[in-house]
A = this chain, B = another copy of it.
Amino acid sequence: MANPVVAEIRRGSLVESRHRGSVAVVDAEGAVVLGLGDLDTPVYPRSAVKAMQALVLMEAGAAERFKLTDDALALACASHGGEPGHVAVVERMLAAAGLDASALGCGVHWPSHAPSTQALARSGQSATALHNNCSGKHAGFICAARALGIDHSGYTQPAHPVQRAVKAVIEDLTGVVIPDQHRAVDGCSVPTWAIPLKALARGFARLGSGRGMAPERARAAQRLRAACAANPWHIAGTGRFCTAVMERFGSRVFVKTGAEGVFCGALPESGLGVAIKVDDGAARASEVVMAGVIERFVPLNDEDRAALGRLLHPTLRNWNGIEVGAIAPSL
């Protein structure tokens, strides 16, 4: 059966495109508060679980060992735009562990932040692995290995102790024992493990509330969330949805995008977790759907409402700045 339409693109007087998908809003005990579409088929969470992956860094004691400041902890949870300020923090993380960009296994791509790509080229430089949107997460994996006193080489492989620890954390938070055949390779070469949306949302309810977690893990999660709330630019970047949400809501809302239309989040005040998958993989849809979930489940003041309105109903403008349409969630 087809999942429901969760977002529509309007142009002129007509709906031009539509996105289907699934939405799970779940509490730490697994009770479904909002369920749309398919909550049971395993979904690759991609970058949406970077905060879960970063728990390994925290539990390895790497933050203390390498004196990682909060902006670095946010970068470990980030899909950043490759802006100069992002790159500088990743370089600092690697330097603290006695390494440099050559240790990164994420691959090279130009900054997703277009002005940063143009500035890089204008200065005669080229993209490096530091500009990869996942470089902060990878620096975190490397710091975790170094803090554990193990060889960081091969840290992207499923059999490496760091990735085994990541899998154990994700299984603990989501309550799912992940079979081998649900493992695939992510864009940055680390494993991504498919998990049903309902379980993913439960994992984020735990991550946000600390409920159902061992005390040390709950403290680590709390510190990561606080680091992200205090450094929202570091978790994404200029003009990005995750940054805009966390700039406005601070510690009240944690959100993290993933490739292929995945979005996860935690609403710590209500103890709820959120997991969204847009069937076709479109971020423009997963973003407005996440904005719709926030509107529905987070108490809003007037300023919240104004800021959220721009994220709920983005205006589409063409190359001349003319308003040609709009995107909206249909929850």
The answer on a CB contact under 8 Å between B319 and A107 is: yes
The answer on a CB contact under 8 Å between A42 and B19 is: no
A182 within 8 A of B: yes
Q: Which one of B114, B119, B285 lies within 8 Å of A280 (CB-CB)?
A: B285
The answer on a CB contact under 8 Å between A44 and B16 is: yes
User: How far does the alpha carbon of A279 sit from the alpha carbon of B282 in the complex, in Å?
Assistant: 12
A2 within 8 A of B: yes
User: How far does the alpha carbon of A295 sit from the alpha carbon of B45 in the complex, in Å?
Assistant: 34
Cβ–Cβ < 8 Å partners of A279 in chain B: 17-20, 280
Closest Cβ of chain B to A23, distance in Å, is 16
Cβ–Cβ < 8 Å partners of A311 in chain B: none
Cβ–Cβ < 8 Å partners of A185 in chain B: 11-12, 318, 322, 324
The answer on a CB contact under 8 Å between B318 and A18 is: no
A61 within 8 A of B: no
| A6-23 CB contacts (< 8 Å) to partner B | 9, 11-14, 16-20
A149 within 8 A of B: no
The answer on a CB contact under 8 Å between A182 and B12 is: yes
User: How far does the alpha carbon of A105 sit from the alpha carbon of B118 in the complex, in Å?
Assistant: 24
Number of residues from A at the complex interface, CB < 8 A? 54
Cβ–Cβ < 8 Å partners of A2 in chain B: 2, 20
Q: Which of A79-87, A186-194, A200-208 contacts B (4 or more CB under 8 A)?
A: A186-194
Cβ–Cβ < 8 Å partners of A187 in chain B: 318-319, 324
A301 within 8 A of B: no
User: How far does the alpha carbon of A19 sit from the alpha carbon of B321 in the complex, in Å?
Assistant: 29
Centre residue among A187, A280, A281 by max chain B CB count within 10 A: A280
User: How far does the alpha carbon of A75 sit from the alpha carbon of B323 in the complex, in Å?
Assistant: 27
Q: Which one of B14, B106, B184 lies within 8 Å of A184 (CB-CB)?
A: B14
User: How far does the alpha carbon of A34 sit from the alpha carbon of B120 in the complex, in Å?
Assistant: 49
Cβ–Cβ < 8 Å partners of A212 in chain B: none
Q: Which one of B14, B107, B319 lies within 8 Å of A194 (CB-CB)?
A: B14
A261 within 8 A of B: yes
Closest Cβ of chain B to A160, distance in Å, is 15
A124 within 8 A of B: yes
From known contacts A18-B280, A280-B285, A282-B280, infer whether A189 and B13 are also in contact, taking CB-CB under 8 Å: no
Question: Can you give 22 A-B contacts (C-beta < 8 A)?
Answer: A12-B184, A12-B185, A13-B182, A16-B281, A17-B279, A17-B280, A18-B280, A106-B320, A107-B320, A109-B319, A110-B114, A110-B118, A118-B121, A119-B121, A120-B121, A132-B319, A186-B318, A187-B319, A187-B324, A189-B320, A280-B280, A280-B282
Apart from A12-B184, A20-B280, A187-B318: 8 A-B pairs, beta carbons within 8 A: A11-B185, A14-B44, A19-B279, A106-B319, A117-B117, A132-B319, A281-B282, A282-B282
Interface residues of A (CB under 8 A from B): 2, 9, 11-14, 16-20, 42-44, 105-110, 114, 117-122, 124, 132, 181-189, 192, 194, 260-261, 279-282, 285, 318-322, 324-325
